[in-house]
Structure 1
Amino acid sequence: MKKIYPFLLSFLFILITNIAFSQSGRIDGKVTDMNGVPLEFVNISIMNSTKGAISDKDGKFSILEIENGTVFLKASMIGFEPSTHEIQVQSGKISEVNFQLIESQLGLQTVEITGRREVGYDNKATFSATKTASLIKDVPSTINFVTKELILDQVAFTVNDVVKNVPGVNQFTFYNDITIRGFRIQGQRNSGTLLNGMRTFTSFWKPQLIPHIERVEVIKGPASALFGNASPGGSINRVTKKPLAENRKSISTSVGSFNTLRALADFTGAMTEDKKLLYRLNLGFENSDGFRDLQFKKNLVIAPSFAFLPTANTSLNFDLVYQDSKGRLDRGQAAFGNRDLTTTPITKSLSAMNDYLNEVTLNSTVSLRHNFSENLSLNSTYQLSSYSEDLLEHRTSNQFAALGDGSFDDTKVAMRVFIRKRTWNNNAFNNYFNANYQLGKLKNTALVGYDYFRQELLPGGSQLEAQTYLLKNGTTSNSFKLANIDNYILDDDGNPATNVSHFDLTSPVANGLRDMSKYLYTTRTYNQYLQQTHGVYIQNQSEIGPLKILLGLRQEYFQDLLDYNSPEEVEVKQSALLPRVGLVYTLNPNINFYGTWVKGYQPQDAAGIINPDAGGPFDPLTSEMLEVGAKTEWFNKRVTGTISLYQIVERGGLYNANDANNPELLVQLGEEQSRGAELNLTGNILPNWSLVAGYAFNDSEITQADEESVIGRQKPNAPRNSANFWSKYVFEQGSLTGLGFGLGYNYVSDRFGSIVSSDEPDVFPSYGIVDAAVYYQMGKVQFQVNANNLFNKTHWVGGYDVLRAFPGSPRSIMTTVSYTF
């Protein structure tokens, strides 16, 4: 009998359930985005009813015991347009319905507090380009991006690895040193590098690491109306990964060429049952020798992030990014003086075995968002960052070895030594109100804000320099002048004697240990400086029918305190009024036309240049851009495209003067102009077929200068033509299910080196590089093999001249295993 009772109870339960179900209906379904990716935590509700469900990690849901008749089912989720379906429910039957939600501006976070839900190469929204949550298609400027999915598919680890996917963006050197539309942005300056939309201070010597980055955005043009001190060509904004409410965990390990080992980890989820406290932790490690002699990289990234969502109207975010980078400073390849870059191997570096470069960067950010009402919100962000540099390097004096007769030995490079330590602290504070209001039929979003940026070089910054040649008075010099030969100590051959031995390009042992105790040093102290900027800005975005109008105005105040906290302290003040005008016209649901006019401004002084030997004082750098274009969406909004035409005029740019007595001296040119066209396509043609493609034509030249010979000359490291392509296809059916292939191509045309280095600057030849990848997904595990520079093309990504050329990597193979759980 005891065995019969459980059976009877089960039978009665099934019977009652079937009777209830026979008198009511059931709805099953699935929710995906426009790329076919399942969406978790979507709210599914029957309108005018208390019944509903939440989609699971596969996007599936079920609603039971629904009365017969017609019901309206609604799917809603923050960041997506709600969708409604009419369903006919019948007793005892299961009705099926599938939702495909479209990314929407409505409901977007005003600040990026929680993570991006889009999966793939496309990205619909931006928070930095207008400081409001905006769809990229509605922003009157060009915004390109590289998402974390493309970063992982290409096994990229730095910003320099991914800029090849953005038209009009090229490397200038190995360093954190990039051109956008022909204009240079560099680390150790605050005019082109953003982190979560905030100006920040970074290393110049090493590319920025990205294992913790959600996407890399390139905001084209001088965005000074929002950010103040901004580069004419554009700004690179790195957006860190933010917490998600659902649990996601992934780890990956890569091994490959040049003894490379990388490990990544990404963990996110809710820390409380009510999901009001979320976390994310990203870890990245890299150890690599690289392809260059004596060069190596040991990089560590630790990046925790927390989001606190106490109410629907308030959110708080905390981000911390710690980066530790060890290696040597690579000044590039030196070739013989006949200007043939192939006369020395691309592996040849000028470093000594006892050189080193150790850098530590720390960024911490706190962001608050509060909605006072549906139409009024406050965003407040504070960022504290620090950067320290510990350097010992043997480097070129930017000349070949001088001979006693005034000629040069172009098989040897004149050398000098730097031993340097510096530390910077930076504070950024940004506050703004967003207000929605309506005037008749005119919908408006107003932005009123104030931001503050403070950059300080801390006490103790100093350098020991061992210069090249010995003088009879017991001092040294980096240059040799035949007219003053009696001032120099000469060797037995009548050539100037060296303090730091020349680097012999023909010697196989030139990179050995150097005896640092034998050098004569001069001491340079980097006096403290403090730079402060205050910006007050207003912006209004209006919408009437298909037309959107953006008007912005910023008043910026710059203050530099040179020789800060000393009796010789000097104050330099500058100010600028920066307008911005933009129009967007929606022709149809797939096409928006836009136009924009904006001015830019950059102060140029010791604080911005960070080089006391650069000369000056210099006039401020001013710029102006006019741009028109169109933005499109195709294949059910899975693919986005942008075509743009632009003209940028810059006045007051700085270039190396090629002064033999001071290799660091800069000269200020009169006017530079960049005109061009860009085309970009990004997204998924099919859910399993991804694409990124672009082309840029850029005519960037000197239009006014004191030195007439450079007028009309193309700017350095600004190719007239460049193109990029990357596509990935994954089989979803049949015996090849889970197998995928990736194929890419990048082309860069000829580029000049330094335009004032000689009567005819050195030329870096054009190149085309093919990349390929194979993927295999097996459950939660993915195997991946990437071959970069598949055909082993010798090429140079940029440089100054034959003494400082920067070769691109030869063929490399990376094998990656990833596990998601």
Structure 2
Amino acid sequence: MNIKQTSQHTLLPSIKSPLGVFAMGLSAAIAAQSGLAQTEEEDEVFELSPFKVDASEDSGYRATNTISGTRLNAAIKDLPMPIEVITDEFIKDTGSTDLRESLAYSAGMLMTSQNDAGAGNSFNTIGGVHNPEGATSNKTQTSYKVRGFITDATLRDGYRRQFSTDAANIGRVEVIRGPAALLYGIGNFGGIVNYLPKTPPSERVQHVTLALGNDEHYRAVYETGDTLDNAWNFGYYVTAVYEENGSYTEFAENDRTFISPIFTFRPTEKTEVTIDLEYGEEEKDAIGFQSVRARGDLSSSDTANQQDRLERAGFLQFPDKDIRTMRWSGEDTYLDTESSNIRLQLTHSFSENLNFLMGYNVSNVEFESRDVGGGVTNNVGPEHLRNTITVIPASVENGDAEFIFGEVTDAIFQGSWTDRTEEVDREQVRVELNYNFDLFPDSERFALKNSFLFGRSEERSENDQYIRGTMENEFFYWDPTDSSPMRFGENGDGTAAPPMEDINSSLSTSWNQGTYVVYQGKWLNDRLTAVAGMRRDRNDLRNEFQNFRNGDISNTGSGPRDKDTSQIGVSFEVTDRISVYALMAEGIMPNFDGNLDVYGNPMDAVTAESEEVGIKFDLIEGKLSGTVSAYRIEQTGTPIFYWWAPAPSKGNFDPNSDIIYNVSDFNPTVEAEWRNGAFTVAEPQWNAAVNSGAAYQLDDTWYLNASEADGAAYMDAVFNASKTTNPGWPGWLYNQDDNTNNATEDFAAANGVNAYLSGDQESSGYEAQLNFAPTDQMQFVLNYAQTKRTVVNAGAFPEYEWGSGGVDKWAVWYFPDGAWGLSGYSLEDQFLNADDTSTWQGRGYGAGEKQDDTPLHAVSGWGNYRIADGKFAGLSFGMGFQWESQREYFSGITDGAGQLVTDSNGERVVLETDTRLNIDAMAKYEFTVGERNAHLQLNVYNVLDDQDAYGYLYAKPLSYRLQFGIDL
């Protein structure tokens, strides 16, 4: 049964038929216009709408106006906020083919991450724990990091978008940094990206571009548009793209098709209707892991430990394979995407100072994927597929440590396949009214220009997932020394792998309703500008989940929650060319994932507050312009998941009964490669417990009664020895069954529910964006970002009643492991009061640390020179660079025994990449063929052919794209 069939949700409580509302609005606007027309001169001309950006003064890479800062067309220099505009010419010169490539030179934005504070590597991303890329590997292709915060808050002309678009359709990209809840409601705290599609031109254009490049890159783009000289000024612009790509890695390839027609018409002189359509398909093959993290003492089915421990292992390497280009997962993994977007928008000018906008946006994206997961384990599976491997920690392959885990015998890859279908439907309705008026217009000193924007936005998002996978408790197996690519449905010896079965389906429906008012005022001869506003959001969430394996069906929801946010900014024009500004803004991210806290209650929204000051300048008659700013963003309520944290809401532990542990593999009789070194030290206490009956067997399973003196003595001996002796890991000490009873049974993972703690994070720094055009033939863009990222609070444990005060002082959060629990610190260092779990300090989990790979310094620039005269007229050259300081790609390492590695000062060791410099280049020749304009352009990326490893990610080798374009 597909659970989506049971959903009865309508779009939004207040929206019965968006198309009907749109039609009614259009009729009302036309009717209103008809009434007003009787009192106006027939030849009177109105400027159509303040809701459309004015790009008439744009020049090359320099833009003067924006629509994203206040939702109204405004001069960038007047707005008290940092705004960066990426123009169409810049996109073309850099050879960008999608949105992410268009942002590659944007200040402080990271397109690729591998260490995200509070996030870790998501198991929902392709490749799972074996994919070294972090949250930016999200399959939507709209995730990036801004000011140290991950975001997928991408907008298409102000409406939320959920999948990347082709650059051929982009007219410009506007980046608003910092929290932006006032206008856009839910979103990220680092910034918002709003891209504007190309609109119908005033004169007919028709153009085709053909491109080819290395790694089998082929691309064709067709564009055509015009505005007809008829009664309704009907205009259109159509973009169509087909592209194929290979890869420098094995097997990987993709192709995509994309079409985006946009239509405009004016049923009246002051009414404009926009119909904006978009459709795309993309097929990616061989998207699975390149290699696996080689940890031979960990079950591939133990996802909780995978997250905390498997990521500390290095990647398996083969003597006959280049780890840069290999893809052990083979060619049977894939990701197919189909997406569409429809935007209907009406703007109407009732008068010069009263304007109206109403829009409806609906989008759909469907993902079909197959992925393979698993890991190296030992002593399982067919003996003839087992072999001996050397396991190394993650640090060794980059030369930052001198220890290894050692050889693992009887090692084998144990894995499973997963097929996932995911469909996301999103609808949004937006209505806005702009009213502006002047007070004392004749007064030179007291003239006051006022503009109000009243808005209402309602949004609904529905995510439907259906998952199939290898049968429960069944796996396929592969020899870990056999570099042959894995194949779906097969074991390493060619025999049939276990079949697939239905696993689960889920349906998540979220709503957001926002009402906002924005004021913009100008005083003192337009020298003082203020932008302020307030917004109220109501958010709701419903989750439905069905487990096909056990038949469970669950329904959860957060219930409606209201949240108020505000923003105020002031800009003062010191001179005609220089202005200063100050801004305070708030952000909000509702709990659309349905995360529960440790008490089983839905978590509140994540919020943020920011403070920013800056200076904007426009010097040398407009040849040099830019913004320099300083900011601080404080984020509160970040969900942080620790699988081992106390969660008293579950109530499985009976403190009035004896404390019983399953110690089948937590005793000196254990014979395994991972045997805990502390067992040997505690062997006398174990023997005493056996003799007294505190340690006993039921159905061949060993149990220990820790409420008896000999049982407690054994547990104390192992825990104390683990602080100074090679502890290994505790085996399955914390597994629960019908015969166990201990405090750990209250923690989240034991109950199949993830409980989250609430943490706080901070980002601060400086940014600069400069645009310099010394001549008409020469222009430069230079960006700088300094970003300091800090985990202020790694999450607060609840006050767990049955803690170390003699009831159960051996719970999982007290175990002296280097990767979890005490994380290598002493009990006294990790808890201010060991009897009170709420005094947990979070040492080793980010408190006061960076725990993120955002570089402290990042600089990027692009320059272009065009020859205007002489026999080389039409020839232009461009060159760009991106430089970044070291990145913290691994935040604290442990040795093979699970102990935290510290430096000579006792501080935890973090691993950092080398500094990195990338250089790109471009050459273009513009000429005519007959009377048709044409161009030939060559873009070369990574000119230095840097192929080094930066953390776990390797630089892509040199590549090129050659394109030819001509007007038809």
Query: In the alignment, which of 480, 484, 502 is matched to residue 523 of structure 1?
Result: 502
1:774 aligns with 2:774: no
> Could you tell me which amino acid in structure 2 is paired with residue 723 of structure 1?
V
Q: CA deviation at 1:684?
A: 3.3
> Could you tell me which amino acid in structure 1 is paired with residue 154 of structure 2?
T
Match of 2:694 in 1: none
Contact 2:82/2:629, CA 8 A, preserved across alignment: yes
Contact 2:879/2:920, CA 8 A, preserved across alignment: yes
CA-atom RMSD, angstroms?
3.3
Q: Mark the runs of 5 or more structure 1 residues left unpaired by the alignment.
A: 1-75, 79-106, 187-191, 468-474, 477-497
1:465 aligns with 2:484: no
> Could you tell me which amino acid in structure 2 is paired with residue 194 of structure 1?
L
Query: In the alignment, which of 446, 449, 463 is matched to residue 443 of structure 1?
Result: 449
1:183 aligns with 2:149: yes
1:242 aligns with 2:220: no
> Could you tell me which amino acid in structure 1 is paired with residue 144 of structure 2?
I
1:712 aligns with 2:848: yes
Q: CA deviation at 1:665?
A: 6.1
Query: In the alignment, which of 954, 963, 968 is matched to residue 807 of structure 1?
Result: 954
Match of 2:359 in 1: 381
1-structure distance, mates of 2:53, 2:157: 11
1:299 aligns with 2:299: no
Q: CA deviation at 1:500?
A: 3.0
Q: CA deviation at 1:282?
A: 0.8
Superposition map of 1:136-285 within 5 A: 136-171=76-111, 172=113, 173-175=136-138, 176=141, 177-186=143-152, 192-202=153-163, 208-273=165-230, 276-285=233-242
- Percent identical among aligned pairs is 21
Match of 1:330 in 2: 287
1-structure distance, mates of 2:358, 2:567: 23
2-structure distance, mates of 1:632, 1:754: 40
Query: In the alignment, which of 780, 783, 793 is matched to residue 691 of structure 1?
Result: 780
Match of 2:633 in 1: 648
Task: Check 1:117–1:586 CA distance in 2 against 1; reply closer, same or farther (3 A cut).
Answer: closer
1:132 aligned counterpart, secondary structure? coil
1-structure distance, mates of 2:210, 2:775: 28
2-structure distance, mates of 1:265, 1:785: 19
2:224 aligned counterpart, secondary structure? strand
2-structure distance, mates of 1:426, 1:323: 16
Q: CA deviation at 1:342?
A: 11
2:81 aligned counterpart, secondary structure? coil
Match of 2:568 in 1: 581
Residue deviations 1:204-236, cap 9 Å, x none? Answer: xxx543221112222101101111111110111
2-structure distance, mates of 1:110, 1:400: 60
2-structure distance, mates of 1:645, 1:783: 41
1:726 aligns with 2:879: no
Task: Check 1:528–1:552 CA distance in 2 against 1; reply closer, same or farther (3 A cut).
Answer: same
2-structure distance, mates of 1:558, 1:626: 26
1-structure distance, mates of 2:203, 2:80: 34
Q: Which has the higher helix share?
A: 2
Contact 2:630/2:766, CA 8 A, preserved across alignment: yes
Task: Check 1:773–1:655 CA distance in 2 against 1; reply closer, same or farther (3 A cut).
Answer: farther
2:168 aligned counterpart, secondary structure? coil
1-structure distance, mates of 2:314, 2:593: 36
1:351 aligned counterpart, secondary structure? coil
Match of 2:611 in 1: 626
Q: CA deviation at 1:579?
A: 0.6
Query: In the alignment, which of 523, 533, 537 is matched to residue 516 of structure 2?
Result: 537
Residue deviations 1:730-789, cap 9 Å, x none? Answer: 111123212211111111222233658865565443311111111111121211111100
Task: Check 1:413–1:639 CA distance in 2 against 1; reply closer, same or farther (3 A cut).
Answer: farther
Q: CA deviation at 1:692?
A: 1.6
Task: Check 1:747–1:287 CA distance in 2 against 1; reply closer, same or farther (3 A cut).
Answer: same
Contact 2:462/2:510, CA 8 A, preserved across alignment: yes
1:671 aligns with 2:611: no
Match of 2:535 in 1: 554
1:735 aligned counterpart, secondary structure? coil
Contact 2:640/2:794, CA 8 A, preserved across alignment: no
Residue deviations 1:461-485, cap 9 Å, x none? Answer: 3101338xxxxxxx42xxxxxxxxx
> Could you tell me which amino acid in structure 2 is paired with residue 193 of structure 1?
T
> Could you tell me which amino acid in structure 2 is paired with residue 543 of structure 1?
K
Task: Check 1:244–1:775 CA distance in 2 against 1; reply closer, same or farther (3 A cut).
Answer: same
Query: In the alignment, which of 273, 277, 286 is matched to residue 320 of structure 1?
Result: 277
Contact 1:393/1:419, CA 8 A, preserved across alignment: yes
1-structure distance, mates of 2:455, 2:756: 36
Superposition map of 1:391-402 within 5 A: 391-395=369-373, 397=374, 400-402=376-378
Residue deviations 1:434-459, cap 9 Å, x none? Answer: 0002334221000111110011134x
2-structure distance, mates of 1:714, 1:563: 36
Residue deviations 1:34-64, cap 9 Å, x none? Answer: xxxxxxxxxxxxxxxxxxxxxxxxxxxxxxx
Contact 2:291/2:323, CA 8 A, preserved across alignment: no
TM-score by length of 1: 0.75
2-structure distance, mates of 1:342, 1:325: 31
Contact 1:284/1:300, CA 8 A, preserved across alignment: yes
Match of 2:462 in 1: 456
2-structure distance, mates of 1:419, 1:564: 17
Query: In the alignment, which of 324, 348, 356 is matched to residue 370 of structure 1?
Result: 348
2-structure distance, mates of 1:617, 1:769: 44
Residue deviations 1:686-740, cap 9 Å, x none? Answer: 2221222111110111111242221232242311111101111111112321221
- Which has the higher mean CA deviation after the structures are superposed, 657-666 or 386-395? 657-666
2-structure distance, mates of 1:391, 1:503: 25
> Could you tell me which amino acid in structure 2 is paired with residue 708 of structure 1?
R
> Could you tell me which amino acid in structure 2 is paired with residue 167 of structure 1?
A
Match of 2:839 in 1: none
1:267 aligned counterpart, secondary structure? strand
1-structure distance, mates of 2:623, 2:204: 26
Contact 1:783/1:818, CA 8 A, preserved across alignment: yes
1:226 aligned counterpart, secondary structure? helix
2-structure distance, mates of 1:766, 1:199: 35
Q: CA deviation at 1:817?
A: 0.7
Contact 2:55/2:63, CA 8 A, preserved across alignment: no
Q: CA deviation at 1:520?
A: 5.0
1:137 aligned counterpart, secondary structure? helix
Residue deviations 1:549-577, cap 9 Å, x none? Answer: 11110000001122299984645222210
Contact 1:353/1:514, CA 8 A, preserved across alignment: no
1:110 aligns with 2:50: yes
In the alignment of these two chains, the number of paired residues is 666
Residue deviations 1:590-613, cap 9 Å, x none? Answer: 222111101111112436x8x99x
1:423 aligns with 2:407: no
Contact 1:530/1:564, CA 8 A, preserved across alignment: no
Match of 1:703 in 2: 792
- Which has the higher mean CA deviation after the structures are superposed, 713-722 or 295-304? 713-722
Q: CA deviation at 1:655?
A: 5.1
- Which has the higher mean CA deviation after the structures are superposed, 431-440 or 330-339? 330-339
2-structure distance, mates of 1:681, 1:666: 45
Match of 1:499 in 2: 475
Task: Check 1:341–1:723 CA distance in 2 against 1; reply closer, same or farther (3 A cut).
Answer: farther
Contact 1:252/1:817, CA 8 A, preserved across alignment: yes
Residue deviations 1:361-388, cap 9 Å, x none? Answer: 1001011110111111101111011111
Q: Mark the runs of 5 or more structure 2 residues left unpaired by the alignment.
A: 1-43, 114-135, 295-311, 381-385, 393-411, 441-446, 547-552, 645-731, 736-748, 796-841, 895-899, 901-908
1-structure distance, mates of 2:242, 2:641: 36
1:134 aligns with 2:74: yes
Task: Check 1:301–1:796 CA distance in 2 against 1; reply closer, same or farther (3 A cut).
Answer: farther
> Could you tell me which amino acid in structure 2 is paired with residue 150 of structure 1?
F
2-structure distance, mates of 1:333, 1:354: 13
- Which has the higher mean CA deviation after the structures are superposed, 636-645 or 537-546? 636-645
